[in-house]
Structure 1
């Protein structure tokens, strides 16, 4: 196992970007002899490989310490904070276009994901974002992705949940801090989505927020509108050329699923799995220099 360590670890440039938001881990009964960077790399190794935590190479430190760091930073919001600040950095460099695509992907849950305790956990949904779908025991990741293939926000539900009801929640979760003064940026210029999201409620939501909708009309919606004549109203505006960029969200999903702990869910708790995805985003989008 030790021979695998080192490949894909944080570069000096990546660590320089992230270290300003990394708190010093507090020892639990004995002094922690591994640096924060080494422990971070242990978490990253596990996210890439998708192995049990017990199999993290000894070169990263005791697996218990690596997992403790991962769990503690999830509970204190460190992973989420770092993702937000990387988004702010990318936006400050002009790399975010604010043309956002929304879609979902279903992830198969490993048998290790079953058996979570029934005791309530802060921030955890009652169903742990696990459910039965055509793919079996699954979790669904709903996300918004910039044309730069950067995840802007995400939401987890059970695998059988529909896509359209999560549309507004995913877009409401977009919040990119500014590097200077001012409120976080929350409003995309355009939102691209497939026909699964072509509901009146979603169009009304985008109009209220003054966001351009690029969503094709369903055939049955078109037939009903035409059948009503003048009372059916005008067809919704649709930019076919802009819609060609919608596949960026599918490419973004492909980038995330290169990390095996993302492509298969091993965590019992949804909040831990969300943190796993956040680590993958950091590894994928943090500039190397």
Structure 2
């Protein structure tokens, strides 16, 4: 077993969640070997052709990674791990929301834009490839942004991929709507956190109204310009939003989780041309770090 490969205990947790690998070699490839090869590429950020021979042909690792991205296997595995964690009482429903910018390698650019489905979701509910491939151009080059919702026990409950220049506030509702944990005994999945923590980037009337409408308590500091505008309006400006400084200190957990996620070099630097492939790399990293 090499550095980063699954231990026997981790494989026992993961094996029941993986689908069979059909028509992949004679005899069929070992799923543990293939998964370790896929994870090696995400962990190191190396090209697919550099996957070591001990994991089998690199073509097999790439084909399985791509196939499981297309048919939605990666998000299904991640969802099953979340369901088990919630059933075991591990997930704490105090959710922190934030985002992080990842530099895109020059190899991530150049994907075709013709013939892409510009819709948000496909007919099967999976995310479609955006026209801009989730790449944004800034003074520092191409970047991609990962928006995360993290609970108090460091479980990532939702992740959204956008171009690097996208603001945090416009994507907030999309992130919150992706929080959907099915219940083991059936019934409606859980979608509402007990509390939401976010920084000043999420201080807007629209976000606060959205949280009030869903009856979700929140701790979001007010921007200085918003506070000044409210004070200038006098009584017409309304009351300042409630803010508990001690509660807000617990928002550091989303920052810690971002740092852990970026330990995978394939996430910290984007090498995938397609946004859906990069999202699958993020999901693979979350799966591996949840075992």
- Determine if contact 1:113/1:266 at 8 Å carries over to the other structure: yes
Tell me the SS of whatever aligns to 2:207. Answer: helix
Tell me the SS of whatever aligns to 1:258. Answer: coil
Shift of 1:139: 0.5
Task: Using structure 1 for the length normalisation, give the TM-score.
Answer: 0.94
Counterpart Cα distance in 2 of 1:250 and 1:90: 21
Q: 2:123 aligns to what?
A: none
Shift of 1:133: 2.1
For each residue in 1:210-234, what CA deviation from the matched residue of structure 2 results, as whole angstroms up to 9, or x when unmatched? 1111100111111121222222111
Shift of 1:68: 0.4
Counterpart Cα distance in 1 of 2:168 and 2:258: 15
Structure 1 counterpart of 2:197, from 173, 182, 192 = 192
Q: 2:2 aligns to what?
A: 6
Structure 1 unaligned regions, length at least 5 = none
1:82 aligns with 2:77: yes
- Determine if contact 2:21/2:29 at 8 Å carries over to the other structure: no
Which moves more between the two structures, 176-185 or 143-152? 176-185
Q: 1:18 aligns to what?
A: 14
- Determine if contact 1:34/1:60 at 8 Å carries over to the other structure: no
Tell me the SS of whatever aligns to 1:141. Answer: strand
Q: 2:60 aligns to what?
A: 65
Q: 1:108 aligns to what?
A: 103
Tell me the SS of whatever aligns to 2:228. Answer: helix
Question: Where has structure 1 moved over 4 Å in runs of 4 or more?
Answer: none
Shift of 1:19: 2.0
Which moves more between the two structures, 226-235 or 204-213? 226-235
Task: Using structure 2 for the length normalisation, give the TM-score.
Answer: 0.93
Q: 1:245 aligns to what?
A: 250
Counterpart Cα distance in 1 of 2:179 and 2:215: 15
Structure 2 unaligned regions, length at least 5 = 118-127
Q: 2:153 aligns to what?
A: 148
Alignment RMSD (CA, Å)? 1.4
Tell me the SS of whatever aligns to 1:184. Answer: coil
Shift of 1:178: 1.7
Shift of 1:186: 0.8
For each residue in 1:122-141, what CA deviation from the matched residue of structure 2 results, as whole angstroms up to 9, or x when unmatched? 61000000011243211011
Number of residues of Structure 1 aligned to a counterpart in Structure 2: 281
Shift of 1:119: 3.5
Counterpart Cα distance in 2 of 1:25 and 1:277: 21
Tell me the SS of whatever aligns to 2:208. Answer: helix
